[in-house]
Structure 1
Amino acid sequence: MEISLWQILAAMSIVGFGALVQGTIGFGMAVVAAPFLYQIDPGLVPGPLIFSGMMIGTLSARRYAKDIDWKTLGYALLGRVPGSMIGVAVLTVISGQNLSLMLGATVLLAVAGSLLPYKLKMSPGTLMGAGFCSGIMGTAASIGGPPMALLMQNESGNRIRANLGVFFIIGSAISLVLLSVNGLFSKQQLGYGVLLFPSVLAGHWLAGRVAERVEKEKIRQAMLVLCSISGITAIVSVL
């Protein structure tokens, strides 16, 4: 079923705002956009939004290329692959209601953990774990940013933007391939992703005008707020 012009325009506005958020703090487009896009048309998630995430990841990685840490990314991507496989399996067996509850609870637990005095340090084990959780959440619901963002919350702003950007490029590509192979990402949905790309460009361009003015602690606070909103929205939507 095709969506109307007004639905596309509404979706572009939402994704544009999400791209502005992600271009500023390093992640958040899917967190902001996914619940609203689903209400516009379920066909806009996860595939088209994952495609948009891959596009803005490319733009962010290009802008902050000198801050990319390939060793850190390697461990995270090792976890992303099996996580993405499980995410595809989840889509085929779990109801939308149960999936929403599960993901919402997971995100809120991650936020609560980040507020504890003990902070998770980036290590091969925690990076693989975050990548694994991101693979499940990103593939099943297009919201794969929170696990990695929470783990990297104490890094510099440019380092967060650069490494999450590359992680989204490769991780999203993995998810899209697996979704396509399993018949869960159609040519029509790819077309929706392409239609949303101009709004991704616009949001990323605007973010470039404000990103350097955002302090590290404000980035961390914004991450926690967005993750909380994501978790609560996912739970409330099925109650």
Structure 2
Amino acid sequence: MELSLLQVVAAMGVVGLGAIVQGTIGFGMAVVAAPFLYQIDPALVPGPLIFSGMALGALSARRYASEIDVAILGYSLLGRVPGSMIGVLILTLVSIQHLSLVLGGTVLLAVVGSILPYQLKMTPFTLFSAGLCSGVMGTSASIGGPPMALLLQNESGNRIRANLSVFFVVGSGISLIMLAVNDLLSKEQLIYGVCLFPAVLTGHWIAGKVVEKVEKERFRQIMLVICSLSGITAILSAV
């Protein structure tokens, strides 16, 4: 089904807002946009939103290239591959309602874990695990940011933005390939993704104007709030 002009404008507004959030704190476009895009038209999720996230990641990676850490990316992307395979399997076997409950609960558990006195350290195992979870969530529901963001939450703002951006570029590419190979991504959805690019570009530009005004602790608080909203929204959509 083709989108109407009103639907396109609404989708661009939602994606633009999500791009501002992600450009400011390092992730969050899918968390903000996915529930609304699904209401506008289910065809906008996950393919077009994943495509938009990949484009935004490329823009942000270029902006913060000096903070990229290959060690972080290596282990996490290694986990993203099997995670994406599991995500595709979930799309073919699990109902939307059950999937939303599982993903929402997982995100909320991650938030609770992040506010406990013990903080997860970045090790090959935790990076691989975060990449795996991100692959599952990103491919099945286009919300793959929370696992990696929670693991990196105590890093500097620019370091988080840089490494999450590269992770999103490569990880989104993997997810799109997996979806296409399994006939879960149409040419129409790719066209929708391209149409959303002007909103991505505008949001990225606005984020660049406000990003330095966000303090580190406030930065961490915003990430936890967005993760919580993501989990709650996913659960409510299944009720």
TM-score normalised over the length of structure 1: 0.99
- Tell me the secondary structure at the aligned position of residue 237 of structure 1: helix
The reply on whether 1:70 has 2:70 as its aligned counterpart is yes
Query: How many angstroms apart in 2 are the aligned matches of 1:163 and 1:218?
Result: 20
Matches within 5 A, 1:52-201: 52-201=52-201
Query: How many angstroms apart in 2 are the aligned matches of 1:216 and 1:135?
Result: 27
Query: How many angstroms apart in 2 are the aligned matches of 1:238 and 1:72?
Result: 34
Q: Shift of the alpha carbon at 1:55?
A: 0.3
What is aligned with 1:20? 20
Query: How many angstroms apart in 1 are the aligned matches of 2:176 and 2:237?
Result: 25
Deviations 1:28-62 (A, max 9, x none): 00000000000110000000000000000000000
Q: Which runs of 4+ in 1 moved over 3 A?
A: none
Percent of pairs with identical residues = 74
Query: How many angstroms apart in 1 are the aligned matches of 2:132 and 2:174?
Result: 12
The AA in structure 1 aligned to 2:119 is K
Unaligned runs of 5+ in 2: none
What is aligned with 2:35? 35
Count of matched residue pairs: 239
Query: How many angstroms apart in 1 are the aligned matches of 2:38 and 2:106?
Result: 20
Deviations 1:94-147 (A, max 9, x none): 000000111000000000000100000111000000000000000000000000
The AA in structure 1 aligned to 2:72 is T
Deviations 1:67-100 (A, max 9, x none): 0001110000000000000000000000000001
What is aligned with 1:8? 8
What is aligned with 1:206? 206
TM-score normalised over the length of structure 2: 0.99
- Tell me the secondary structure at the aligned position of residue 228 of structure 2: helix
